[in-house]
Amino acid sequence: MRKLSVAIEIHLYSEGQLHDDQIERRRQGYGLYSPGFYKRLLSYHNKTIEVQFDNNISLGEFEDLVHRTIWANYDGTLLEPMTMYFITSKARFSIDDPDLCFCDALDTFLDPESTGTINVGIYVCEDAGSYDTEGKLNFYFHSNEEGKHNEPHVHVYYDGEHNNEPISIRTGEVLTKNPKMPKKYQKQAKQYILKHQNELLQYWNTNTKGLKVDIDHLLGASNI
């Protein structure tokens, strides 16, 4: 087994710009995501953790190891968009192929002098509209909704930033009459939406403009 010290730094960004000046405000519970999320994640800001792993660990498995350490016993649902980078004095590296051997990258790029310490940055996207990704699907909310749909919905982009369909959070069905989204993506989007229905509705109530939906009534939990 190999041992490694991982120095962690947390960064916040939105609209392509860093907003680390908001970290202290996030510690106080103000932000796009839940206070519990910020409290746990920021407790590791500028802290070092110790990890152990074998020589065959992949880049993806190492990333999972770091996340498991940070989020151990966390009782919330992690849907917040986060990206982990390896940071050196000369460059910042993201994981392109999670199956590649971590130790090869460690010895060649991340810690060529064998100091036993690497730096990792976790970047949290705070764009109000961006919610989550699932495969090729990007789930997005419009903060100032101007459409004619009279129920809570999420816009699902399925080919980059160009084409999207509004999909009901209540039913998981596309709200347009003649959707262009391929059937396989409609099915994938519906499964995701129904699985994360309560979280999506809470996000709708927090981040979209207009009336607040009664979630219990919408989902049939209350007949009042």
pLDDT, position 144: 45
pLDDT, position 123: 94
- What's the token pair of residue 96? 């392109």
Categorize the per-residue pLDDT at 196 as very low, low, confident or very high, splitting at 50, 70 and 90: very high
pLDDT, position 213: 67
**Cβ-Cβ contacts under 8 Å for 30 (sequence gap 6 or more):** none
What is the rounded distance in angstroms from the CA atom of residue 192 to the CA atom of residue 209? 23
Instruction: Tell me how far CA of residue 48 lies from CA of 41, 190, 220, in angstroms.
Output: 13, 40, 47
Q: Is the pTM of this model over 0.75?
A: no
Ordered structural domains, the chain, with CATH: 2-125 (3.10.20.90), 130-213 (no CATH)
Per-residue pLDDT tens for 170-195? 999 999 888 999 999 999 999 999 99
pLDDT, position 32: 64
Of the given ranges (61-75, 181-195, 203-217), which has the lowest mean pLDDT? Answer: 203-217
pLDDT, position 155: 86
